[in-house]
Amino acid sequence: MITKKMESALNEQINAELWSAYLYLAMSLDAEEKALKGIANWFYIQWLEEQDHARIFQEYLSDIGARVELKEIEGVPQEWDSALEMYRVTLRHEKDVTEMIWNLVRLALKEQDFATLSRLQWFVDEQIEEERNAADLVKYLESAKGDYAALRDIDNKLADREYEKASALK
């Protein structure tokens, strides 16, 4: 049985995941504008993955008969100085998301909500990958700073990224 407090916190997280989706779509569009098609592709897939994350929480709440509340999504920035800046922002944002997930875990433990705790484990693991991917790209782009050919090379590699539906989705 989920408490109102936990239900409300998970609804907030749906909103946070959709905001992340929105942020990465904006980065994808800005990368496209900068003629960085591979990076645009990487962020486009990130936008799809964040929608999956929101959907996982929504499916969970629906499955347990809790109320899903779709809140207003705040606006996001539209432009960044460079691809490196986008990935630095992404890394900082993913660290914040990890903290949000861990706070949900803390709340689930306090409420002795073992079903929610079990659902959250997928996100705890996912955040390790989210931070790692962004951190790696920050390092690659830092080492390519000022080297246009190296940037093009990274961009070409990121064009290969493909979307895979999240394993936690039905």
Element (H, E) at 113: none
Cβ neighbour number for residue 41 with a 10 Å cutoff? 20
CB 49 within 8 Å of CB 165:
no
Q: Give how far Cα 67 sits from Cα of 14, 88, 113, 130, Å.
A: 12, 35, 16, 28
C-alpha span between 50 and 119 (Å, rounded): 16
Is 50 or 113 the residue whose CB approaches ligand FEO more closely?
50
Q: Which residue is nearest to ligand FEO (CB)?
A: 53
Which residue type sits at 81? D
Q: Is 7 in the site for ligand FEO (CB under 6 A)?
A: no
Q: Is 88 in the site for ligand FEO (CB under 6 A)?
A: no
Minimum distance from residue 110 beta carbon to ligand FEO (Å): 23
Minimum distance from residue 73 beta carbon to ligand FEO (Å): 14
Footprint of ligand FEO on 23-82 (CB under 6 A): 50, 53
Is 99 or 147 the residue whose CB approaches ligand FEO more closely?
99
Q: Give how far Cα 39 sits from Cα of 14, 19, 34, 160, Å.
A: 25, 19, 10, 10
R_g of the chain, CA atoms, integer Å: 17
Q: Is 97 in the site for ligand FEO (CB under 6 A)?
A: yes
Minimum distance from residue 15 beta carbon to ligand FEO (Å): 12
Minimum distance from residue 44 beta carbon to ligand FEO (Å): 14
CB 134 within 8 Å of CB 124:
no
Footprint of ligand FEO on 112-131 (CB under 6 A): 130
Is 22 or 111 the residue whose CB approaches ligand FEO more closely?
22
Which residue type sits at 99? E
Minimum distance from residue 131 beta carbon to ligand FEO (Å): 9
Contacts with ligand FEO, residue ranges (CB under 6 A): 17, 20, 50, 53, 94, 97, 130
